[in-house]
Amino acid sequence: MISLRRILAPVDFSDCSDKAVAYAAELADKLRADLSLLYVVPDLTLAMPDAVMPVPVATPDMDDLVKSGRESLDKMIAEKKLTATGDVRIGSAAAEIVDAAKEAAADLIVIGTHGRGGLAHLLLGSVAEKVVRTAPCPVLTVRG
């Protein structure tokens, strides 16, 4: 029998992610599973390495971004009256989601997908697609 005890729901505070959190919360409630929300602050040094930038670019303070992410997660949990924990990490979204799922021994990841196609998908990639390919557990994608 399949046992779903730990559900991980990555969030980016978009409408897609809100919809995925609603699915995750409903599943967690019905299955009496633990729900964890995860927000990943993009590591801007991965996106803009110094070696390719002709002039230094001012980047936001990572501590402020993490603090803001934490506050937004807490607000989401309170407003939606969720029984959930929240975590904020820094890095590549897909890699951090997969690592968090492994560390928490998640039984399911519920993630929103923007459903981009064509050039937008090629340029921006798909976090959800990368998570589906590398996750240690099943992944439920919720289209926005």
pLDDT tens digits, one per residue of 101-123: 999 999 999 999 876 655 544 44
Q: What is the DSSP string of 30-94?
A: HHT-EEEEEEEEE-HHHHS-GGG-SS------HHHHHHHHHHHHHHHHHHTT---EEEEEEE-HH
Q: What is the pTM of this model?
A: 0.85
pLDDT at 40: 96
Residues contacting 3, CB < 8 A, separation 6+: 107
pLDDT at 125: 57
| Domains of the chain by start residue, with CATH | 6-143 (3.40.50.620)
Of the candidate ranges 7-11, 40-44, 97-101, 131-135, the one whose mean pLDDT is the lowest: 40-44
